[in-house]
Structure 1
Amino acid sequence: MELKNKVVLVTGGGTGIGRATSQRLASRGAIVAVNYSRSVAEAAETVRAITEAGGRAMAFQADVSRKGDVDRMVDEIVREFGTVDLLVNNASITRHIAMDDLEAVTEEAWEALFGVNVVGMFHCARAVASYMRASGGGAIVNVGSVAGLTGKGSSLPYAVSKSAVHGLTKSLAHALAPTIRVNCVAPGAVTTRWWEGQETRMHSLITHLPLERISPPEEIAEMICALLEQPSITGQIITVDNGQTL
């Protein structure tokens, strides 16, 4: 699929992988709707960087865990740009809880992580599907994680939520075929703000990876763009982890 002049919604587009993806999409000529929940300054900076480079982008606020927020946001995007052709479901949260500390896992943690990481992706996919069908087809990329494959991560609920994202990808690929393709990128460690203050741990991890490196957000963004463009792939979980799950 040609990305030029396509309207792309990127959730969590103000920082990290979301920002890198928004900028990569804009560099390919896409019109980018940069979603944010609370990171208003960061979303504005993403939009500024895109527009200063000659691209088109606008920020839209919504808590993706709330259906009403998502529906309102999509209505605003359609009023501004006419439709939504592509979706990058990137918005995600975590809790840092030791994997073996089951008592520390609260109901609030489960509800919050599944609300954003899983149900939020469903809300967004459902809200844009009719516009994609009306225009003859579209594509969705969900951002999962190797935590959803290995069962290990920043917390047990986070790992389980990302496993659910992988399952959601396959189910949506069935539900939305043949007009809408749905795939997932599952990154390993990425040099985003989640690693701030944990540089020692990050460098120790590098020595255990076959490629002995950690990916910058731009590399994940390139894979997301490739999956949006590729017309023959759907229902796939593509791991980008420098060999972590080898």
Structure 2
Amino acid sequence: MDLKDKVALVTGGGTGIGRATSLALAERGAYVAVNYSRSKTDADETVQLIMNKGGRAIAIQADVSRDQEVREMVRQVVEQFGTIDVLVNNASITRHIPFDDLEAATEEVWDELYNVNVKGMYYCARAVASFMKTNQQGAIVNLGSIAGQTGLGSSLPYAVSKAAVHGLTKSLARALAPDIRVNCVVPGAVSTRWWAGREEQMKRLAPHLLLQRISTPEDIATLICAALEQEAMTGQIITVDSGQTL
């Protein structure tokens, strides 16, 4: 898919990988709807960065864990740009909980992470699917995590939620074919605000990676765009982690 003049919705698009992806899509000529839940200032800044380079973008608020808010967001994007061709399901949250502290992984934590990380991606895919099917083409990229492959991560519920995202990707690829392609990009450690306060840990990790570097948000954004453009691929789980899981 040529991304020029396509309409893209990026959830959690104001910061980190989401911002890098929003900018990368705009550079390729896409019109970008930058979703945010609470980070309005960051989303507005992302939109301004795109517009400063002559692109078209809007910031739009919605909590992806709430189906009605997702449907209203999609309605507003279509009202503004006419359709939606591309969805990047980037919005995710975590809680930092020691793996051996099973009691800390409460029902509230499980519900919160699953509602955003898994059900939120499903709600967004469902809400855009009818427009993509009408156009007889569309592309979705979900953001997974190596936590979903290794079982390790910031918390046990987070790792399990990301494994579910990988499974969701394959099921959606089957459900939405042939008109809509669905793939999953799986980052390892990425230099984003998730590492705030743990910079020393990140520096210690880098030399142990095969490529001896921590991925940047721009690294991940480049692969997301490639997955959106690749018309012969669906249902794939693509890892980009500097060799961390090899």
TM-score interval for Structure 1 and Structure 2 normalised by the shorter chain: over 0.9
Verify: 1:191 aligned to 2:194, yes or no. no
Tell me the equivalent position of 2:56.
Answer: 56
Partners of 1:140 and 1:162 in 2: CA distance: 16
Partner residue in 2 for 1:67:
67
Deviation at 1:197, TM superposition (A): 1.2
Matched position secondary structure for 2:208: coil
Name the CA distance, whole Å, in 1 between partners of 2:174 and 2:137: 14
Q: 2:2 — aligned with what?
A: 2
Letter in 1 for 2:15: T
The aligned residue for residue 150 of structure 1 is 150
| 1:181 has 2:176 as partner | no
- Provide, for residues 19-44 of structure 1, a one-character-per-residue CA deviation record: whole Å limited to 9, x for no partner: 00000000000000000000000000
Separation (CA, whole Å) in 1 of partners of 2:197 and 2:109:
22
SS of aligned partner of 1:55: coil
Partner of 2:218: 218
- Residue pairs, 1:107-146, within 5 angstroms: 107-146=107-146
The aligned residue for residue 168 of structure 1 is 168
Question: How far apart in 1 are the matches of 2:35 and 2:62?
Answer: 7
1:84 lines up with 2:84 in the alignment: yes
Hey, what's the Cα distance between the residues in 1 that align with 2:109 and 2:92? 13
Secondary structure, counterpart of 1:207 in structure 2: helix
Structure 1 position 22 matched with structure 2 position 22 = yes
Give the letter aligned to residue 59 of structure 1.
Answer: A
Q: CA deviation at 1:100?
A: 1.1
User: Could you report, residue by residue, the CA deviation over 1:95-114 in whole angstroms, capped at 9, with x for unpaired residues?
Assistant: 00011111111111100000
TM-score by length of 2: 0.99
- Runs of 5+ unmatched residues, structure 2: none
Code of the aligned partner of 1:14: G
Question: What TM-score does the superposition give when structure 1 sets the normalisation length?
Answer: 0.99
Counterpart CA distance in 2 for 1:199 and 1:12 is 22
Paired amino acid for 1:72: E
Counterparts of 2:117 and 2:82, CA distance in 1? 27
State the alpha-carbon separation in 1 of the partners of residues 122 and 199 from structure 2. Answer: 34
Q: Which amino acid aligns with 2:235?
A: G
2:121 partner amino acid? M
For the aligned residues, what is the CA RMSD?
0.5
How many residue pairs match? The answer is: 246
- CA shift at 1:211, angstroms? 1.1
Q: Give the Cα–Cα distance (whole angstroms) in 1 for the partners of residues 34 and 101 of structure 2.
A: 36
Query: Take 2:128 and 2:192, find their aligned partners in 1: how far apart are those partners?
Result: 28
Moved over 6 A (4+): none
CA deviations on 1:162-184 (whole Å, 9 max, x unpaired) are 00000000000000000000000
Counterpart AA for 1:36: Y
Runs of 5+ unmatched residues, structure 1: none
Which position in structure 2 is the counterpart of 1:235? 235
Provide the secondary structure at the position in 1 that maps to 2:54: coil
Deviations 1:108-128 (A, max 9, x none): 110000000000000000000
Shift of 1:207: 2.2
Distance 1:131 1:201 in 2: 44
**Aligned mates of 2:196, 2:128 — CA distance in 1:** 34
